[in-house]
Structure 1
Amino acid sequence: MHDIIIIGSGLGGLASGAILARHGMSVCVLEQHTQVGGCLQSFRRGGATFDTGFHCVGGLRPGEVLHPYFRHLRLLDLPWVQMDEACFEEIHIGDDVYAFAQGRERFIETLAERFPAERAGLDAFMDMLESTGHSLAHLFDDADTARAHTRERFGQSAYAFLQRTITDPRLRSVLSGASMKMELHADALPLYTFAQINNSYIQSAWRLRGGGEPIVRRLVEQIEQAGGTVRTHARVTRLIAADGRLTAAELSDGERVEGRTFISDIHPALTVGLIPSDSGLLRRVYRQRIESLRNTFGFFTLHVHAPDTPIPYLNRNVSIYDGYESLWHNDRSEISPSYLISCRPPDTPDSRTVTTLDVLHPITPRINSLLAWDTKHYAQNPRYNAWKSVSAELCEQRLREHVALPPGFTIERVTTSTPRTYHRYTGTPYGSAYGIRRDCHDMPRTLLSPRTPIPNLLQTGQSVNVHGVLGVTVTAFLTSAELLGRETIRRMLVGEE
């Protein structure tokens, strides 16, 4: 009998497991695949290593938003590489190029040089980002105030905020240009999500040598050193209940793993699907609500391997948009007009070149039907394969147009991944990149709590609270607080435990 059973081994599940295991609870993490880590995991093709969903993080320095959380999770001593302080994000819109610098003053000054009449608007923009980020510092010591602040910003539209704060429509688009880390949905994206994510990267932006794997190894190590277990090939097919509570997770081979409390790190719709409808634990209206929630878009990714012509390390992301109007209205076309180029840091500090990089390309709703979600035979669909070929060509074209490549640059091998790939490895419906779409106009339905109607079932991960490394990490602490209490978590974060 375990104190805690965690379903899924993404960042949310592993972080929750490490927190609770180190606090003396017996933890068992159940992962259906051969490899743990969810979107933190890497994969190898043709002798090259690529990341699946981890590219960079923000706010790692003392006093910044992610620092206390990663300090407690013992992740700060990993081989972090700070991105270019003068330009951690290079924004290409049409023929124009803009730089996002790290640090409030440098960020404002860099953009004010291009938009001198908008200095006051840039100040107001940063005031809002910083006040939203500051609320995380009081999430566990002044819960009522922090909760009220969160709900206020969640109920506001990011798009509307930019409309009323920034006069120049071009600058509105530029300020949204580093936001391929979220879904820029004009009618839905909450201001809170937009602010937290952008604020963390403007504070400071970092990559990690080895990609997300060092984070996975460190968290698994903490769970196991505290007496917990992390199991692979352990697909949960059903949650067993008795007397109004969950008692065990049943695996695909029939084994039952008993536990006192269960934490789901998988998509909420999948969690609901594990609970038999005749158990009486969930009302039909709750099931329908969760299963009807819309999901964010997925990505097509071109993974490039060029061992014969190494590329000078690109210590910044390159975000590319065909035009100023395309940022917030990606859903209007069949082929998305947006691209993101990113690469892992060199394996050693003295290396200045890399042989791999990724080009990410968001999927629009109109193209989603080509992915043939209702069949397992999508790979034989001529339209699907034609779309993959066109997308790969467009990604390579943008790479050659927007990155200074060495003379004679040649690609030895490309590997592609689509939302179907992410669906296969993470189970996330439609291969969604950021989980459930939070809607500022429908906050009660789309802003999910770690709690569920079942008293000993909690949830964590990218569909709860905010997505991304920052959001998922904070949510893991919120989930753990349901068991340990907010005061205990507060003491952890200030270094008293």
Structure 2
Amino acid sequence: MPRIKEEYDVVIIGSGLGGLLCGYVLAQEGKSVCILEKNAQIGGNLQTFKRDKVKFDSGVHYIGGLEKGQALYPFFKYFNLLDNVEKELLDQDGYDIISFENDEILYPHGQGYDNFVKQLLKYFPHEEEGLRKYCEEIKRICEKFEWYNLDIDYTETDEMSVFGLSAKEVIESCTSNQKLQQVLAGSNLLYAGDGDTSPFYIHALIIDSYIGSAYKLKHSDQISKQLRKDIKKMGGEIFINSEVIKIENSSKLVEHVTLSNGQHVRGKQFISNMHPTQTFRLLNTDGLRKVNVNRMLQLENTTSSFILYIKLKPDTFKFSNYNRYHFIDQDVWSAHNYDSENWVKGLAIFNSRPNNDTSYAHTLTAIAYMNYEDVKKWEDSFNTTLSENERSEEYVRFKKEKAEELINALSKLYPGFSDCIENYYTATPLTQRDYIGAIEGGLYGIKKDYNAPVKSFISANTKLDNLFLTGQNIVLHGVLGVTISAMVTCQFMLGKKYMLDKIKAFV
């Protein structure tokens, strides 16, 4: 292992996808790059873990927009990922299935806009006009975003003009059919959908990429492993178990960062892949504007989740080449509003198989919303592979009870499901906090609100001349969102036209 040098051209705090992508871009530009990761595994939400010889993806379950001419394609080409990541195309007639309690119909989201309409017309035969209007609204919004449409030459963009549109209201404006409204919004766990706050542009960018093409990854850590390999080949350095505990700065510049072992790492430029609030907690804020500091320290975050990772008994549970979003409560916008007697109001279900030659799944992951308040009594405990601490017997019981509730919900969907379980493992908001660095375990970082879009807008360019931000809080979360966020970060360092021209060469 190389030793950390005293100074680099660029020091990147955090090896989540945004940090790795920025490291790749800047190392390719010939800059000396150092990426500092506090945990034992790089990748943030791309991390995987093994239990009983079976590998589970912790966060990323599928990605979209990977076909030529689609949004993610040129980026994956540029980052040498397209041919180095094993993937499987999800069912083209239903990559996502939306279902409801006491309704036997499985409502499909198909790939390709015409096919998307065609598949839903089977269940809503009189709604072609509404479905096509919905598709056109998505495409109209997506065209506003420059980095999303690299084949278009923009002189100027008006992205801000669409930030104030409500996802729920735009969908309702397309059709008066209430069931169809619910079906169109049914995968909103992808952005922690809230009918009172969620902007339509987030819905549009995410859904457009999946309608384009939806792929299941063999394992999400393929992305981080390939990026690490290429960054090192270009001379960049990545250090795990290297926690930054302080950012030393004047009112104008960051001078160095301090690691938990006391070592100082100097840089000409710095990028933080951490949550903006966490970044500002590490800064010396004495010379910074108080109003800006207070805003960054008080950002509201998306809700968290409880995740059940299940190892299935061999040849017991049929593999489905789609993801399922199921709602016990008929309102898909209210699954995060629950009480202790009625916790599981909606869940997302992902299954995987060991190879394409089998028709049986070997893992199943189920996700339900969980508020941080539910685990707050144990927040003073901390547990990772590097710092293992048992929280308490009460916490273990809590996890067991919640797991059983989820298994009961799954057993209603799949009769006899409990007999298919060999083992299971759980993750709570505290798990997300400790392993991913998400404040209060927030699923997707900062909560976006169409009622006050500027309030949650975070620039990659800070008031400190050599400190930049990247990651899911800058533009959008998810693989596509974070990739574009990394480009926006690098454009402040290398120039926007220069970066756009670089990526456009791969369109």
Normalising to structure 2: TM-score of the pair? Answer: 0.91
Task: Identify the match of residue 164 of structure 2 among 135, 150, 155.
Answer: 155
For the residues of structure 1 that align with 2:76 and 2:416, how far apart are their CA atoms? 35
Q: Say whether 1:238 aligns with 2:246.
A: yes
CA deviation vs aligned residue, 1:215-247 (integer Å, no higher than 9, x gap): 011111121111010000110011122472112
Q: Structure 1 residues 127, 328: closer, same or farther in 2, change over 3 A?
A: farther
For the residues of structure 2 that align with 1:107 and 1:308, how far apart are their CA atoms? 34
Q: Say whether 1:178 aligns with 2:190.
A: no
For the residues of structure 1 that align with 2:335 and 2:506, how far apart are their CA atoms? 47
Q: Say whether 1:401 aligns with 2:412.
A: yes
SS, match of residue 24 in structure 2:
helix
Amino acid at match of 2:227: L
Q: Structure 1 residues 139, 286: closer, same or farther in 2, change over 3 A?
A: farther
Q: Structure 1 residues 493, 303: closer, same or farther in 2, change over 3 A?
A: same
Task: Identify the match of residue 388 of structure 1 among 391, 399, 406.
Answer: 399
Structure 2 match to 1:275: 283
CA deviation vs aligned residue, 1:413-453 (integer Å, no higher than 9, x gap): 11101110010112211011100101111111202111111
Structure 2 match to 1:376: 381
SS, match of residue 116 in structure 1:
coil
For the residues of structure 2 that align with 1:207 and 1:133, how far apart are their CA atoms? 23
Q: Say whether 1:89 aligns with 2:89.
A: no
Structure 1 match to 2:385: none
Structure 1 match to 2:329: 323
Amino acid at match of 1:232: I
Q: What's the C-alpha RMSD, in Å, of the aligned pairs? A: 2.2
Shift of 1:371: 3.1
For the residues of structure 2 that align with 1:302 and 1:176, how far apart are their CA atoms? 23
Correspondences of 1:206-355 after superposition (within 5 Å): 206-209=215-218, 211-242=219-250, 244-278=252-286, 280=287, 282-328=288-334, 330-334=336-340, 335-344=343-352, 346-355=353-362
For the residues of structure 2 that align with 1:222 and 1:76, how far apart are their CA atoms? 14
Correspondences of 1:12-51 after superposition (within 5 Å): 12-51=18-57
Structure 1 match to 2:4: none
For the residues of structure 2 that align with 1:228 and 1:330, how far apart are their CA atoms? 41
Q: Structure 1 residues 138, 101: closer, same or farther in 2, change over 3 A?
A: closer
Asked if the contact 2:303–2:369 (Cα under 8 Å) also holds between the matched residues in 1, the reply is yes
Amino acid at match of 1:245: L
| Structure 1: segments with no counterpart, 5+ residues | none
Structure 2 match to 1:454: 464
Normalising to structure 1: TM-score of the pair? Answer: 0.93
Number of aligned residues: 487
Structure 2 match to 1:428: 438
Greater Cα shift, 107-116 or 325-334? 325-334
Amino acid at match of 1:450: A
Structure 1 match to 2:87: 80
For the residues of structure 2 that align with 1:387 and 1:160, how far apart are their CA atoms? 37
Task: Identify the match of residue 445 of structure 1 among 450, 455, 471.
Answer: 455
Task: Identify the match of residue 124 of structure 1 among 127, 133, 139.
Answer: 133
Asked if the contact 1:309–1:409 (Cα under 8 Å) also holds between the matched residues in 2, the reply is no
Q: Say whether 1:107 aligns with 2:116.
A: yes
For the residues of structure 2 that align with 1:79 and 1:410, how far apart are their CA atoms? 27
Percent identity (aligned):
30
For the residues of structure 2 that align with 1:242 and 1:140, how far apart are their CA atoms? 42
Structure 1 match to 2:478: 468
For the residues of structure 2 that align with 1:405 and 1:464, how far apart are their CA atoms? 44
CA deviation vs aligned residue, 1:77-98 (integer Å, no higher than 9, x gap): 1211100111111111123321
Structure 1 match to 2:495: 485
For the residues of structure 1 that align with 2:393 and 2:165, how far apart are their CA atoms? 41
Q: Structure 1 residues 179, 5: closer, same or farther in 2, change over 3 A?
A: same
Amino acid at match of 1:477: M
Structure 2 match to 1:167: 176
Q: Structure 1 residues 33, 197: closer, same or farther in 2, change over 3 A?
A: same
